[in-house]
Amino acid sequence: MKRQTFLRKFISLTSFVFLPSLLRSQENNMSKDNFSNELENAKSLKELSQVLTKLREAEKNLAIDGTWSLGTVFSHCAQSIQYSINGYPDMKSTLFRSTIGSAAFAVFSLRGKMRHGLEEPIPGSEKLDLQIPFSTGHKELLEAIAYFETKKSEDLKPHFAYGNLNKEEYDQAHALHIKNHFERITFI
């Protein structure tokens, strides 16, 4: 009887001590289904940064189609966010931005989905290394998102194609841009 009581207490105590750690590790475990669901539900840069943070743990299980590495994609997305703050190097004409460009953004915004060339650099941007390491690009993107979060609408420069966007619109444009690129990421 004493042995049974001892074992029950030992198991209860062990469970009490180790269960929170086990649950935390399960929460942060990024799987294909978790990634797809969280990515689908993310509507802002803040929500995407949470997905990105969890994605770090799954790096070895990720692959991407095309010639750009995951790090290069992350770096490209970070570059776009930085240009929205510092100014894009090449701009479409004012006429284009006020007509076709703003109409394109309105369509993307209404659909909640963007389509664009996934290996096209930002016009006039510095050429990116096609094999940027995951950790480098990942860090750049998280830092760019954090920096963007500190800005106000009046701090932002016009988009090279969409024209003037306020912070909320830019947040959505960047989130849609990132999510479009993530369509090429797969779990292996």
What does pTM read for this prediction?
0.82
pLDDT tens, 49-107? Answer: 999 998 888 888 899 999 999 999 999 999 999 999 999 999 999 999 999 999 999 99
Tell me, yes or no, whether 21 and 68 share the same domain.
no
Pure H helices in the chain: 2-27, 32-41, 45-55, 70-86, 94-96, 102-111, 134-149, 167-182
pLDDT reported for residue 36: 75
Question: Measuring CA to CA, which residue among 111, 116, 120, 137 is closest to residue 43?
Answer: 111
* Structural domain that includes position 152: 31-187
| Cβ contacts of 179-182, under 8 Å, gap ≥ 24 | 179/39, 179/42, 179/48, 179/113, 179/114, 180/113, 180/114, 180/115, 180/116, 180/118, 181/73, 181/76, 181/77, 181/118, 182/39
Work out how many domains the chain is built from and give that number.
2
Tell me, yes or no, whether 21 and 42 share the same domain.
no
Dist. CA 91–CA 44, nearest whole Å: 25
Find out whether 52 and 115 touch, Cβ atoms under 8 Å: no
Instruction: Report the residue count for the chain.
Output: 188
Tell me, yes or no, whether 67 and 94 share the same domain.
yes
pLDDT reported for residue 54: 87
Tell me, yes or no, whether 26 and 36 share the same domain.
no
Tell me, yes or no, whether 152 and 177 share the same domain.
yes
Tell me, yes or no, whether 13 and 73 share the same domain.
no
Tell me, yes or no, whether 23 and 74 share the same domain.
no
Question: Residue 151: exposed, middle, or buried by beta-carbon count in 10 A (0-12, 13-18, 19+)?
Answer: middle
pLDDT tens, 17-39? Answer: 444 443 444 444 556 677 778 88
Tell me, yes or no, whether 155 and 99 share the same domain.
yes
Which residues lie below 8 Å from residue 107, measured CB to CB, with a gap of 6+? none
pLDDT reported for residue 48: 94
Tell me, yes or no, whether 120 and 149 share the same domain.
yes
Radius of gyration of the chain (CA): 21
**What 3-state class would DSSP assign to 111?**
helix
Tell me, yes or no, whether 100 and 154 share the same domain.
yes
Tell me, yes or no, whether 96 and 24 share the same domain.
no
Tell me, yes or no, whether 43 and 23 share the same domain.
no
Question: Measuring CA to CA, which residue among 177, 53, 68, 63 is closest to residue 114?
Answer: 177
